[in-house]
Amino acid sequence: MAYFTTKDGTELYYKDWGTGQPITFSHGWPLDADAWDAQMMFLAERGYRVIAHDRRGHGRSAQTWNGNEMDTYADDLAELIESLDLRNAVMVGHSTGGGEVVRYIARHGTQRVAKAVLISAVPPVMLKTEANPGGLPIAVFDGIRDGVKNNRSQIFKDLAVPFFGFNRSDAKVSQGTIDWFWFLGMQGSIKGLYDCVKAFSETDFNEDLKKVTVPALVLQGNADQIVPLEDSGALSSKIMPNARLKIYEGAPHGMCTTHADKVNADLLEFIQS
């Protein structure tokens, strides 16, 4: 098991497989690097070096009391990228991880970045405000925080169902996938996961997106019940200067799992283009 220690002494778990052009993966909440196994194995088998870390407060990384916000997440990723001396990297982020990728580029530039991919990602901003009337009300996120604080085991079991679209009439429900989602979530820190709700819901990425000047691909399902397409990917793809949007018909938020073959093929095509 590989660990990297940041400048503030935080130990981050990461996996680093294969050789070739590097591809970094930033996971969603409340998961960890294992959420990318299908993509990492596929791309490593095709001659790429794939790297994914557990964000602080998630998975096998340190359970810090402080730093559970987007600037620190991005800076942690920057330190890892620099320590591994990754260059010409393709950065891929799902959900909260999409925000992490965008904030990394805004804070650290594109010197080490060739391309970016946002999948079901939280930018531009999830929270409903006067400036963002299409967002979700604060009560939604307060409810998630309440669930994390008081019974996170149950909220992870409940959340897995819409996350993977298993409440749709045409869904093939996988109890194993629900159990896996629960297991990854339960490995995280209650404090880190609680704080991260604010990070993914209230961070405004509008200005960050303008700085993503590298070629970018936005992938999202039109059946996403967690991060609604029209207020996220559809907007982000218009703000980034060099982005294109690909919509998956009927795909849920967790489409890297439910539609892994399609996601893998689209990633490979974009990386090779």
Which sequence positions are flagged as catalytic?
A: 95, 224, 253
In whole angstroms, what is the distance from residue 220 CA to residue 251 CA? 7
Buried b (16+ CB within 10 A) or exposed e, 34-72: bbbbebbebbbeeebbbbbbbbbbbbbbbbbeebbbbeb
Contact yes or no for 105/212 (Cβ under 8 A): yes
Name the DSSP letter for residue 136. Answer: B
Contact yes or no for 108/208 (Cβ under 8 A): no
Q: Letter for the amino acid at 204?
A: D
In whole angstroms, what is the distance from residue 212 CA to residue 105 CA? 6
Contact yes or no for 110/214 (Cβ under 8 A): yes
CA pseudo-torsion sign 116, 121, 127, 132: positive
